[in-house]
Structure formats: structure tokens, C-alpha cells
Chains A and B, each alone.
Chain A
Amino acid sequence: MWYMLRGVEAMIAADRLTKRYPGVTALDELTLEVPPGIAGLVGANGAGKTTLIKILLGLLPATGGGVRVLGLDPTRQGGRVRALVGYMPEHDCLPPDLSATELVVHMARVSGLPATAARERAADTLRHVGLYEERYRHIGGYSTGMRQRVKLAQALVHDPRLVLLDEPTNGLDPAGRTEMLDLVRRVGTEFGISVLVSSHHLAEVERVCDHVVVIDAGRLLRSSAIASFTGRSAVLAVEVLEGAEQLAERLGGLGMAVVPDHRQLLVELRGEGDTDLVRDAAADLGLGLVRLEQRRHRIEDVFRESGEGPVPVEEVAGVRG
């Protein structure tokens, strides 16, 4: 079958998928296969990202070609696809006179969850996206960042197998973008929900995704896995109560790359045993270890952000914005 990926069912597959509007071709013979995990969909405005997402949801019929989402055909099995998929629209879609809790509970019920389960799932999901006491206030008074979190929560509340996030970082300031991207990463890793996240920033998407699809004018430019975890080193964020300098020195002595970052140390992970080495070093020095958290930043990014050395950033030709 064309939508099987090396014997594994592709999360999303398209075969010569075409969508024409009068006068415009939004998708032009797009063929791609995206494996489960976190995938980025990159393209300029008008490249066809939103059109593709709407076809994946069965909300728009394709003009030609085939498409599969989680092995189902959204044009004929739209309801079944949408039961398994969550969708976060690009635009504002929240009624201002409801609280986040009211909206998300309602959306859970419209997804078919029983009343009690809907309330529990809504509370859990809002907590996971980082909305606490404010979830009882009317959405009208929320910041853009909080609105984006509510939009994400309503896409996750029915525990889908796949979420389609259309430009989740739109309208956010740099700190807000980072938080949203971390959240997207957590959805894919901690929550175990596959993600397709669209964006017009390639670099942004590369930071959190396992696979990147780049489209331009409805045509595929590139669909490839991001070099796997082992190919590029991962980063461990370490936070100790006191004596960060001591620890940095000790780890440097063990041959690890260490960068201070606010109250934390960012440590390059070269292999499996490194986490234990950090823990043992902290224990040896008698330091109070507050946090050990593996991050998906590439170590190059870390050095680049802290200004300690230029790192070339590869750009894909033809991608604007």
C-alpha cells in the first residue's frame, strides 16, 4: 500500500494530492509520508499548509490524489479521523464570554466524552498546558499566550492520537514562542501524542521536530527526518541549590561541554552514562540537586544563543520568511 512507510503505518501520507481553487492551485501533486512522532510543516504564508491540514481533517475535499491519516481516508471516513485527531486553528477561535474551563469541558463533551470524564480531562489538560487559577476567568481577559494554550488544550482534551497545530507560535513574543515550542515537544514526548506543527520558521520547527516537511506553492520541497538524537548531541539542564561553578568545573574536568544559563547549567550529553556522571558529581560535591532535565536543544544552538561561538545554520533554498 502506498501509505505504508517501510512496513509501518505512516501517520500522514499523501499521494499526488492536489487541491485547486478557481484560479489558484493550493496543493500541486503533493506526495509525502510522515512517520509517527513530531513533524514540522514548513512553508511561507500561502504555501498550502492550512489547506493541507483541512484536507487531513476531512473538512475540505481534495481535487485529486489520495490522502491517509492514521491509516484512514479523511475524505470518506472524516468522522473517524476527527475522533482520533485534535486540531488547533491558526486564527482566534475562542468565545470571550466563557472561561477556559467551560469551553474545554464543552469541547470534550462534543468530542463524545461523558460528563464526568470531560470535566476531569479538561482540568488535567489545562494544567498540562500551564493554565491554573486563571482557567476560571473569562477568556476575553487572556493574553495571546494564554489564548494559544487554551486552543492547544481544546485540541488535546479528548486525548487524540495526533494533533494538527496550525501556526501555534503566531502572534507570540520570543519568550512565548519558546514556551509554546517546549509545550509542543512535551505533547510529542511526554504525552506520547503525534504532532504535525505548521510554521513559517524552519529553524523554530527544527528545534522540536523529528521530521520536517517543507512545502512551497503547494509543492513538496523536502520531507526528511531531522538527524537523529545520537547524531546530534542532546542537552541536560542541571539545577543545583548552590555551587553551580564548582559543578561546572568538575564536569569540565570530565571532558563535558558546560554552559551556564541563568540559574542552570546546560551540559552536553555524549552518551547514556553522562546523566549518571552528572548526578554522581553533584553527590560527590554534596550539592543539592534540584533538577535534571533532558532537553532537545542541539548543543550548537546553546552555544549560539549564549554567544560563545558561531554556528552555521543551514537554510533550505526556496523557503521564504
Chain B
Amino acid sequence: MSVAESRAEGLAGGGAGPGARIHDIGYRHYEGPRLGRGRAVVALYLQGLRAVFGLGRPARYKVVPFLLLGIICAPAVISAAVAALTPLQPIAYASYAYYLQLPVMLFVAAQAPQLVTGDLRFRVLPLYFSRPLERSDYVWARVGSLATALLVVLGIPLAIIFLAALLGHVHSWNDAWSETRRFLVGVGGAAVLALVLAALGLAIASLTRVRAFAIAAVIGVYLVSSTVVATVLGVTHGTAAVAGLFTPFQLLDWFQAWALRVTPVARPGPGEAGPLYGVAVVLLPAGCLAALLLRYRRAEA
């Protein structure tokens, strides 16, 4: 009997006394399903979505996203409560993000780098690109994760106001329907804004391997663009309608005013320039995505 046979017999348990145990069953091949590229992208997308909120990570990764989420939701809670107790109207759905733009932008600045700078700095990308994924899949998954996270962050306060309205001052089916319609328009606007901010935030964050630089760059682009646009609009009393194209929240505000017939926060609205806002809402994220695709096509693997 060869050694291999005696070992096989031992493994089969022939004549093994009580208390005999198999400690190492050796390498086993994987015979199960391989779900392929599509599911690989989904896995990367879900990992990114969890990473934005620090889920599955130690508590310190959750502090910033949930603190900002709390700050973004607080006015909705207060506004809904006030509307329930007094005749005052709650904050309009389509205006909510505009009012809360600072904490929303901080959320983008803090969490977009979580998705991209670590993979660049620690050179994790070769591990992804040596799998069935294509480089563009990485970009789609990352933008998808951040856009979904932002839709959640922007959608929760709208849902709070909506639920409070349904429970409070809605008294007829007609009221309920018009409230629902306004809510859905608000969610639609939030979805557009989420995509714009995700693409813009990631395009900026992916330029550097250092997280602190990425955070500063996102905040810097926001502050500079919004200050310049506010100044131009202020000086021209809102008549230089094209100026609003150059900062994301003003872009969305006047895009909604043009496309969804919503009252804009910043008066007077885009006026004749309305269609330009429709074009810009498509071109801005498209340009950012193109920049990201180019960035990752050239990334080392």
C-alpha cells in the first residue's frame, strides 16, 4: 500500500478510533455559479453605497455621513411640525435642496473621496481591473453608488414633509393627489441633482490620491462657483440668466423652474435662457462622466 492510499484510508475513517478528527480537508475547487460581469458591477456598486454611509465599518466612518444626514433632515422635521401646528406651509419639495445646499455639498465633499481616493492611493485598482470588470464599469459603479446615496440623503427629508402633510393637512383625495404630485416632482428634481453632484464630485475627487486635497477641491469648486454666480446675479438683478448655469444648485433651481414649472427660489428665474438649463443638466454630468472614463482608462493597472 502506498502512502497516498493509506492516507486516503485514514481520511475515509476506516478503523479510526473515537476522537479521530480530520483537521485539514485540503483544497477544494469551486463548482458553484459564476455570475459574471453584471453581478460584479452590482457587487462593486453595493460596496460603494455602503462605504458612503460607513456601513459595515467602524463607528468613526459613520459619524460624518450620519451627522450631515441629520443636519439635512432637521429642517424637514421642524418645518413639518410647524406646518402641523400652525397654518404655515412647510418648505416646498423642489426648494429643499437649494436651502440646504451647504450641508449637501459638505456631504459630497466628505464622502465622494471615500469612493475613489483610497483605491488610487493604495493601488487597489489593479485588483479590480484584473477581474471580469471593465474600467468603465468601475466608473459607472462608483457614480451609481454616490448618486444613489445622495438621492437617499435628499429624499428622506422630502419623505418626512410628505408623510407629515398626508397625516396633517390633507383632507380630500384631491389634496392628496396634488400633494403627491408635488412630492414626486421634488423627488425627480432630487434625482437629477444627485446625478449632477455625484458625477461632479467624483470627477473632482478622482484627480488626487490624497483625501484631504479631494475634500478641499470639492468644497473650493462649490464655494467659488456659487459665490461668483451669486455676485453676478446680484449685480445684474438676476437679468444675466445664463450665470446660473455655472453652479450646481442654481442650475437645478432654474432647471426645475423651466422644465417642471416649479417656482424658483432665486427670482426671477431663467426666463428666455430656460432651454439652456435643460441642455446644461445633461451636459454637466455627461462631461464629468467623460472625464472620469478618460481618467480611469489611463489609470495604472
Q: Mark B276-301, 1 if CB is under 8 A from A, else 0.
A: 00000000000000000000000001
Cross-chain contact of B122 among A54, A85, A93 (Cβ < 8 A): A93
Residue contact B3 to A276, C-beta cutoff 8 Å: yes
Q: How far is the CB of A215 from chain B (nearest CB, A)?
A: 21
Q: Is B43 part of the binding interface, using a Cβ–Cβ cutoff of 8 Å?
A: yes
Main secondary structure of the interface of B (DSSP, over half): loop
Residue contact A112 to B132, C-beta cutoff 8 Å: yes
Residue contact B128 to A110, C-beta cutoff 8 Å: yes
Q: Is B32 part of the binding interface, using a Cβ–Cβ cutoff of 8 Å?
A: yes
Residue contact B1 to A276, C-beta cutoff 8 Å: yes
Q: How far is the CB of A117 from chain B (nearest CB, A)?
A: 5
Instruction: Given A59-B301, A110-B43, answer yes or no on A159-B127 (Cβ-Cβ < 8 Å).
Output: no
Q: Mark B126-169, 1 if CB is under 8 A from A, else 0.
A: 11111111100000000000000000000000000000000000
CA distance A192 to B27 in the complex (A): 9
Q: Is A292 part of the binding interface, using a Cβ–Cβ cutoff of 8 Å?
A: yes
Q: Is B124 part of the binding interface, using a Cβ–Cβ cutoff of 8 Å?
A: yes
Residue contact B29 to A192, C-beta cutoff 8 Å: yes
Q: A85-B130, A113-B34, A276-B2 are in contact. List 19 more A-B contacts (CB 8 A).
A: A79-B132, A87-B126, A89-B123, A89-B126, A93-B122, A93-B124, A93-B127, A106-B47, A107-B127, A109-B47, A110-B128, A111-B131, A112-B36, A112-B39, A112-B131, A117-B33, A121-B30, A158-B131, A191-B27
Residue contact B126 to A275, C-beta cutoff 8 Å: no
Residue contact B30 to A113, C-beta cutoff 8 Å: yes
Instruction: Given A57-B130, A92-B123, A128-B27, answer yes or no on A279-B3 (Cβ-Cβ < 8 Å).
Output: yes
Interface residues on B, range: 35 or more
Q: Mark A36-48, 1 if CB is under 8 A from B, else 0.
A: 0000000000000
Q: Mark B16-41, 1 if CB is under 8 A from A, else 0.
A: 00000000001111101111110110
Q: Mark A65-107, 1 if CB is under 8 A from B, else 0.
A: 0000000000000111011011101011111110000100011
Instruction: Given A59-B301, A82-B132, A275-B3, answer yes or no on A124-B127 (Cβ-Cβ < 8 Å).
Output: no
Q: How far is the CB of B72 from chain A (nearest CB, A)?
A: 26
B128: nearest residue on chain A (CB-CB)?
A110
Q: Which residues of A contact B133 (CB under 8 A)?
A: 110
Residue contact B129 to A83, C-beta cutoff 8 Å: no
Q: Is A190 part of the binding interface, using a Cβ–Cβ cutoff of 8 Å?
A: yes
Q: Which residues of B contact A79 (CB under 8 A)?
A: 37, 132, 134
Q: Which residues of B contact A191 (CB under 8 A)?
A: 27
Q: Is B44 part of the binding interface, using a Cβ–Cβ cutoff of 8 Å?
A: yes
Give the number of A-B contacts (CB < 8 Å).
106
Max count, chain B CB within 10 A of own CB: residue among A82, A191, A292: A82
Max count, chain A CB within 10 A of own CB: residue among B6, B33, B39, B126: B126
CA distance A94 to B125 in the complex (A): 10
Residue contact A110 to B131, C-beta cutoff 8 Å: yes
Q: Mark A104-146, 1 if CB is under 8 A from B, else 0.
A: 0011011111100100010010001000000000000000000
Q: Is A154 part of the binding interface, using a Cβ–Cβ cutoff of 8 Å?
A: yes
Total contacting residues, chain A, CB less than 8 A = 43
Q: Mark B40-84, 1 if CB is under 8 A from A, else 0.
A: 100110010000000011000000000000000000000000000
Residue contact A107 to B28, C-beta cutoff 8 Å: no
Q: 4 closest Cβ contacts across the A-B interface?
A: A159-B30, A87-B130, A109-B43, A112-B35
Q: Which residues of A contact B132 (CB under 8 A)?
A: 79-80, 82-83, 111-112
Q: Which residues of A contact B271 (CB under 8 A)?
A: none
CA distance A113 to B36 in the complex (A): 8
Q: Which residues of A contact B39 (CB under 8 A)?
A: 109, 112
CA distance A272 to B5 in the complex (A): 13
Q: How far is the CB of A257 from chain B (nearest CB, A)?
A: 19
Max count, chain B CB within 10 A of own CB: residue among A57, A113, A128, A190: A113
Q: Is B103 part of the binding interface, using a Cβ–Cβ cutoff of 8 Å?
A: no
